[in-house]
A and B are shown apart, each in its own frame.
Chain A
């Protein structure tokens, strides 16, 4: 059992606080930075990005459109404008390259809420966990795509989607959307570990599929160095993805985390005192020669 009171201490001791929180900090900068780009307009009159995550226009030239929302609209019979189609194409290509669930861990504002809930769970030692399947999100995804076909007046998921609600709430006005956010927070805190993002959210499920063959992946190339501290499993929002890569050496499994459930958040990279994990390509292989050369040249510089 991992001792929650000393969680992360080894990594801090080995790498320092900053390096053992590197990707966490970068993700918060990314999440808040994206919000800031949308907010400079309404707050200071400096228009960088207009709209919200559903569809936006950056500097009056770059259109970006959420493919999931547009798919729902299309299923209810909409023929989108060219700008929206271009916007969708750009978004799809981007997430195909970097991993679909990068949306979840680097963009989505709800991630900050659910991360907070997960952190509090660990701090307060809350162990309650209701058993429902991680595949629920795919059922939800199917549901949200079937509803526009069955019910007139279409994009029904967007009436309640907490992801778009929270982002739009911050940019345009919250109304009672904070109730939804609070609901998700409490659900994740008390009812189920990683309950929303890891089990239910159909937005994540959609991006999961988009990035199922993505090029950027986390790998455990240095898996021999693993000292079985188990801390990566504790901080990972989708811990089931780690084992095949980290412990699959005997079965000849690739050290690359191939499951598209992985959000590429990089918490495992941060928390590992032994630097087992790193970002790399989909087909990353351990190349001892190169690695050692790199270390030597780094050492020489130091």
Chain B
């Protein structure tokens, strides 16, 4: 009787002991997995998620690594991260320099996604924000050398909105213009067509994930002119007309070329006809 009780006692003890061992072991595995997941959720800057991808943390929770987006991409630009790649195993990405998103109108990759990791609310590919193109190297971009390149501007599918050309004075030659490509984040989808097209050995314009590409203004910042526009009037000091301390009958107007003396014709030693000035010497003789 007492024997069997002892045996039961022993069994219970064994059972609890084993269970504790298993629980501890599995708990350790859990800690390891948690730590590993932190490391595994980093991604190289040139790996871009497909259109409609949720913010990275949500994406990693939503993507079930099925590869249906990869299969339905008609241009075969998408890859699944393999074990050992620097991207969460089995998640899709593309590399703009070698295979940018061709911006299909029907967005088949998003349609294929079974879990909304690629957001099905994205209906217009021009609304997608896969990343943001950044003209990251002005020292090598040949537009800054005064050469007419504009390839990135020309291949951009959001023509003249995502990339515009900003004409600037060329200080080197003193008489030419620089046609500087400027990316606008309100229109750029991050497709990467510009990065692939960049004619340099290493692209001067590159697509980066949004969090790497964008700065963020401190939330306390207020831009005076915008606030003024919103409010309809200046919020700080009331606008007063600027007055110059000038004698009567004289005023200052920059666009009217400076000091203007009302009511008086300009006095000048020169004739209004430039030929008179040129010929003046001869006339005297």
* Residues of chain A having any CB pair with chain B under 8 Å: 41, 47, 50-52, 54-57, 63, 65-66, 69-70, 72-73, 76-81, 83-84, 87, 132-133, 135-136, 139-140, 142-143, 146-148, 150-160, 164-165, 168-169, 171-177, 179-180
Contact = CB atoms under 8 A, between A and B. Distances in A.
A146 B60 CA distance: 16
Contacts of B72: 50
Q: Nearest 8 A-B pairs (CB), nearest first?
A: A154-B61, A175-B82, A76-B61, A176-B84, A55-B66, A84-B114, A153-B60, A139-B26
B23 interface: yes
Given A51-B67, A154-B62, A165-B90, A78 B115 contact: yes
- The secondary structure that dominates the B interface is helix
A79 to B, nearest CB: 6
A59 to B, nearest CB: 13
Given A54-B90, A78-B117, 15 more contacts: A50-B68, A50-B71, A55-B115, A65-B114, A66-B64, A69-B65, A77-B62, A80-B116, A81-B115, A136-B26, A143-B27, A158-B90, A168-B80, A175-B85, A177-B82
Contact of B64 (A77, A79, A151, A155): A155
A175 B84 contact: yes
Contacts of A177: 82-83, 89
A73 B89 CA distance: 15
Given A78-B116, A140-B29, A143-B29, A55 B71 contact: no
Nearest to B37: A156
Nearest to A74: B115
A51 B61 contact: no
B37 A159 contact: yes
Contacts of A146: 30
Contacts of B18: 133
Contact of B65 (A76, A80, A147, A168): A168
Contacts of A150: 34
B235 interface: no
Given A173-B82, A180-B83, A84 B115 contact: yes
Contacts of B41: 153
Contacts of A165: 83, 89-90
Given A79-B116, A136-B25, A179-B83, A172 B67 contact: yes
Given A73-B61, A80-B115, A143 B83 contact: no
Interface of B: 18-19, 21-23, 25-27, 29-30, 33-34, 36-37, 40-41, 56-58, 60-68, 70-72, 79-85, 88-90, 112-117, 120
B205 to A, nearest CB: 29
B68 A51 contact: yes
A157 B64 contact: no
Contact of A168 (B30, B58, B67): B67
A69 B72 CA distance: 21
Nearest to A140: B26
Given A140-B29, A172-B80, A54 B34 contact: no
Given A135-B22, A175-B83, A155 B67 contact: no
A67 to B, nearest CB: 11
A133 B21 CA distance: 10
5 contacts: A55-B115, A70-B64, A151-B37, A158-B64, A164-B90
Nearest to B33: A156
B40 A159 contact: yes
A264 B113 CA distance: 33
Contact of A173 (B34, B62, B80, B117): B80
A156 B64 CA distance: 10
Contact of B37 (A78, A136, A153, A174): A153
B280 to A, nearest CB: 84
B57 A153 contact: yes
A83 B120 CA distance: 12
Nearest to B88: A159
Contacts of B34: 147, 150-151, 156
Contact of B22 (A76, A132, A147): A132
A82 B33 CA distance: 31
Nearest to B27: A143
A84 B62 CA distance: 12
B73 to A, nearest CB: 11
B267 to A, nearest CB: 78
B116 A160 contact: no
Contacts of A156: 33-34, 36-37
Contacts of A84: 114-115
Contacts of A80: 114-116
Given A79-B116, A83-B114, A157-B33, A55 B57 contact: no
A139 B67 contact: no
Contacts of A52: 65-67
B67 A159 contact: no
A14 to B, nearest CB: 41
B37 A63 contact: no
Contacts of A152: 57, 61
B88 A54 contact: no
Most buried by A among B33, B70, B71: B71
